[in-house]
Structure 1
């Protein structure tokens, strides 16, 4: 009887079987290998991705202006307030009319209500300070941007035809001694908007430079400020 030599080569079929078995062993070693923290190496773990970034709320647009306008809003009690605005309900410039109420002087101050009225057919909201700027007849700004009076704004809900107002104040020029100029118009920008509403200014001259020339604006609240 003839014995096979130990150095004899396996058959091609046997060689393929050995290769397949070796590959299965290597695969089982790779998939079972864990990281130092107990996670499987090479696999992303749930919960490790950064949460989606949330867009910061824009502050009330007190540095821009708003859309064109006239005025004449209804009663103060009609509008309502709530702590936060519902998403997507902000009043846009083109939905509003702007006006300026009568001066209500006091303690050496000139105080005017700046009124925005909802001229659209939907309910919308205002939240924060208006933008404001006095313009001369050539359309150039008179004086610096008004200062925003620090306050805690509330969301003012405006049904069609309802109004909200913000106070615009400055020291009486005859008392402060500030240099004055006669504006042709006041630009008013609703919060978070960029396009201005233009209101013809029919009042007196306003301070534009010098001591106590600062103009200030307050946050919006329901009504006309009358």
Structure 2
């Protein structure tokens, strides 16, 4: 054959080979598609870096943990005991109020112009109460008029808490002089003779009336008084 015939023949051969190749591929795809159709498979293109969707979060509010459900890590691995109920406190004993007391002057002593007596306060109530410290006192005459009185505290015995059950008593020791001081009458009573004493218990403002039958108080009514004691 001539070269031109060979060139034409080769070209036609290549075209025929290409057509056969394409027909074969199409036949193969058709067979594969038919096979997939019979098995129910669907071929899809591969996805590129598709991440799975995060799980849906419930919008319902989570119940709060009860004390018994709390993790042990919060208490170092030990269960926290429940708080103990408050213990009932014993009733506090209140101080002795004026209305709970009665008074008297007892055990008076006289010697060398000096006078001593015990001012006694008795718990006449049905409740226990306490006395602590010094009290006050004002002497008065039979008509209720004030008689010169100057109370001065002595340190012996000093203040101490005293608990008085119903019927019990405590006293303050009193000391004064029966000798007139300069400026007081020498030929008669140095001061008006008191009939009563208005006694104010420690930390109170109301007074109770006590009979005073131990004579006048010289030295312009100066009386040394101790704290209440047994």
Report the TM-score range of the alignment, normalised by the length of the smaller protein: 0.5 to 0.7
Alignment deviations for residues 20-54 of structure 1 (CA, whole Å, 9 cap, x no partner)? xxxxxxxxxxxxxxxxxxxxxxxxxxxxxxxxxxx
Equivalent in the alignment of 2:209: 198
Q: How does 1:49-88 map to 2 (within 5 A)?
A: none
Equivalent in the alignment of 1:147: 152
Equivalent in the alignment of 1:51: none
The Cα shift of 1:200 comes to 1.9
Task: Give the alignment's TM-score, normalised by structure 1.
Answer: 0.54
Say if 2:119 is the partner of 1:111.
no
Equivalent in the alignment of 1:171: 177
In structure 1, stretches of 5+ residues that fail to align are 1-85
Alignment deviations for residues 148-197 of structure 1 (CA, whole Å, 9 cap, x no partner)? 223531001101100000011101226x5642211111111110001111
Equivalent in the alignment of 1:75: none
Structure with max Cα Rg:
2
The Cα shift of 1:87 comes to 5.8
In structure 2, stretches of 5+ residues that fail to align are 1-90, 185-189
| Residue-pair matches, total | 133
Task: Give the alignment's TM-score, normalised by structure 2.
Answer: 0.53
Q: Relative CO higher for 1 or 2, CA cutoff 8 Å, sep ≥ 6?
A: 1
Say if 2:218 is the partner of 1:207.
yes
In the TM superposition, structure 1's runs of 4+ consecutive aligned residues that sit over 6 Å from their partners are none
**Aligned equivalents of 2:112, 2:130: Cα separation in 1:** 32
